[in-house]
Structure 1
Amino acid sequence: MVKKEKRPFAVLLGKLLRRRRLEMGLTQAEMAWITKMSEEGYGMIERGERIPNTLTLSRIHNNTEISIDQIFKEIDRIEKENTPEEE
């Protein structure tokens, strides 16, 4: 199997979703069930190996109270924090 290179957006999204899932006290299996995905598929999202489609993002939003807008704002904030400033 060829390992795909992780994309920065996918990695940041995965970290954000994992943090929220843990805050809610849910396992990956529970979150997968909530989002109507396989546990493996949801795990791939958290590891940054897959970007969820809009239906899955909608299910995540509906069950975690993270809006799509919040997701993009948080990812933008994290990227800015991790981008070295030019001298």
Structure 2
Amino acid sequence: MSDRFSHDRGPCDAATDTTSPESAGPAAARRPVRMCVRCHSVTDTPTVVYEVHQSSGSGFNVYACEACAPFFPPPADVLTVLPDSRRTGGDR
């Protein structure tokens, strides 16, 4: 019995394709693509400008393109925001 559909490629076949750049190794991996929070353009060179921390779930990062990143202040270190007494275990 011949497989008359062997030349057709469906979406499942594309995921298992061994000739794609993703399967060629880490050097050929796809670069991250994110949307800039300021100009709303899609960039392949995103810069983290803010980290959102949540107590009810996982947090997320906010990205900007290289042109807009200088307009944001550097991300604050979470440990420097807390008073000294909280970092050492006091005031509980």
- TM-score interval, normalised by the smaller of the two chains: under 0.3
Choose between structure 1 and 2: higher strand proportion. Answer: 2
Choose between structure 1 and 2: higher helix proportion. Answer: 1
Higher relative contact order, structure no. (Cα contacts within 8 Å, ≥ 6 residues apart): 1
Larger radius of gyration: 2
Q: Give the TM-score of the pair, scaled to structure 1.
A: 0.25
Q: Give the TM-score of the pair, scaled to structure 2.
A: 0.24
